[in-house]
Amino acid sequence: MSFPEIDPVLIHLGPLPVRIYALAYIVGIILGWSYLGRLLRQPQLWNPRGSIRNPGSPPLDKEKLDDFVTWIILGVILGGRLGFVLFYRPELIVEPPSAWPQIFGVPIWTPLAIWTGGMSFHGGLLGVAVVTFLFARKRGTDPLRIGDLLACAAPIGLFFGRLANFINAELYGRATDGPMGMVFPKLYDSERGEWLYGPEDGPGLYPREEWIETGQAVARHPSQLYEAALEGLLLFILLRIAVTRFRILRFKGAATGLFLAGYGLARFTVEFFREPDSYAATLGFLTRGMLLSLPMIVLGLFLFYRVHPKLGGPKGAKA
């Protein structure tokens, strides 16, 4: 398979490039926001048939949801960036000021230089958890019920985020001889308007044809697409069925547990095909992504186990 070589910069607004990666975040947030609004307008999902055993009305109204989205954006961006630094690149914390990136001639501490790249899903998840707790405390709402609501829309953002990773030719997979193998470029030359290929470690950049002719090209799994399919599309479908068919939003923690366990299992599986980050230590065959996903699986199964009798056991038959 050939890498599609999509220009990662959609348009230029003067000197400012508008990147597809940033637009993917924006589209994911807008669609997720819209989807959450739809769920809030369906009271039967939260309190079908008026059963007194159900938790009642949704945890947010439209006004609170609109306010909460701002908190979520901050949690995703700050948590995702700080998580990347703490989990994968802690040496950036003590990087000397002379190495700090600059914006308009002003040096910015590298962990805060989001535009240089580097985000972590697990860090973003922790950031969202923190802002959810703070928002719920401020508004007098149960944070876990808000978490259930967010869990339903999170796969939407994950789907578009992984597609953006693919377009950026980043976070690709391990080498393979299979039919899904794809040769990924090393970087995009904005001045020449083309992708360039070369060794992962070492000098030398070539257009695709010249690089393949050298005989050094290595085909790899498009693991970004695997993650988009599993963490995004499949997980969204599972949550959608669980919400509309089994009404799991009635039971506090069920949707959160399903999302955490589902994402953790999907990410753990894809890590077998994804090239481990060269700067992140591993533990035997366990990559950093696997190690960070294991607590998600455990916590997700625990939350789901707490409500399991209500969902499918003998007691749940009367709910």
Residues at the binding site are: 162
Residue among 161, 172, 85 at smallest CA distance from 123: 85
- Within 10 angstroms of residue 220's Cβ, the number of other Cβ atoms is 20
Three-state SS letters, the chain? CECCCCCCEEEEECCEEEEHHHHHHHHHHHHHHHHHHHHHCCHHHCCHHHCCCCCCCCCCCHHHHHHHHHHHHHHHHHHHHHHHHHHCCHHHHHCCHHHCCEECCEECCHHHCHHHCCCCHHHHHHHHHHHHHHHHHHHCCCHHHHHHHHHHHHHHHHHHHHHHHHHCCCCCECECCCCCCEECCCEEECCCCEEEECCCCCCCCECHHHHHHCCCCCCECCHHHHHHHHHHHHHHHHHHHHHHCCCHHHCCCHHHHHHHHHHHHHHHHHCCCECCCCCCCCECCECHHHHHHHHHHHHHHHHHHHHHHHHCCCHHHHC
Tokens 């749940």 correspond to: 316
Contacts of 54 (CB under 8 A, 6+ apart): 46, 47, 48, 250, 319
If phi > 0 it is left, if psi is from -120 to 50 it is alpha, else beta; for residue 276 that is: beta
